[in-house]
Amino acid sequence: MRLEITPNFITQEECALLNAWAYEGVVKKWLDVGISSGKLINKRLTSRLYGDRFEYPKEVIELSTKIRSFVGISNYSIIEGHGNRGVVVSFSKPGSDVYKHKDPKEAGLSALRCNIITQAADEGAELFVDENKIDIKAGDLHCYLASDFEHYVTEVKGDTPRILWMFGAYVPQEDWENGVIKYGLS
């Protein structure tokens, strides 16, 4: 399993800007109820299903372009139907978690997720991929094939919501795993 992590991919100031947008999105319903095991939940809000309610600021589009270039996926298709322009925000309130799952594939292509936590929870909210705990901090970029490896997040504890921004593309599994997709190119 290829998992790439780039510490401090974005600054704390950039995290703060993205967090401000996410909090505004919660108030304005750009982020709304999520789905967990087929049930609607209000402890983990998402922009995934609500992309028609808003437009991202230019900083988000620029970050998406920067990530796609850095990861080497500029020529691959974005993950359609997820948020707006292939970007999804998740706002996980205390008491929420993400159940163990794999993301769907599309036409035989794998979903490469390139994620950045912009606000960490006080406690908990630990990411596990293929049963391995992944040590990431706010501002770190982490990328893996979310459709090929089970992943989950433990319960958010404390008073601070976990905010995660998801980017990515549909790619051939072998292009990612065998290094055809060159990471760290920008």
Q: How far is CA 46 from the centre of its chain?
A: 10
- Which architecture, in CATH terms, is 4-177? Sandwich (2.60)
Q: What pairing do the DSSP bridges indicate for beta strands 88-92 and 162-171? A: antiparallel
Q: Judging by beta carbons within 10 Å of its beta carbon (0-12, 13-18, 19+), is residue 80 exposed, middle or buried? A: exposed
* Amino acid 35: pLDDT: 77
- Which residues, at least 6 apart from 83, have a Cβ–Cβ distance to it below 8 Å? 46, 47, 48, 50, 51, 89, 166
| Residues 52, 72: Cα–Cα separation, whole Å | 28
Rg over CA atoms, the chain: 15
| Structural domain spans, the chain | 4-177
Task: Read off the tokens for 183.
Answer: 């990471």
What residue type is 2 in one-letter code? R
* CB-based contact 116:90 (threshold 8 Å): no
Q: Name the β-bridge partners of 114.
A: 143, 167
pTM of the model: 0.96
pLDDT per residue as tens, the chain (186 positions): 999 999 999 999 999 999 999 999 999 999 999 877 677 788 999 999 899 999 999 999 999 999 999 999 999 999 877 779 999 999 999 999 999 999 999 999 999 999 999 999 999 999 999 999 999 999 999 999 999 999 999 999 999 999 999 999 999 999 999 999 999 976
Q: How far is CA 110 from the centre of its chain?
A: 15
Q: Which sign does the torsion angle of CA 125, 99, 167, 68 carry?
A: positive
| Residues 137, 180: Cα–Cα separation, whole Å | 27
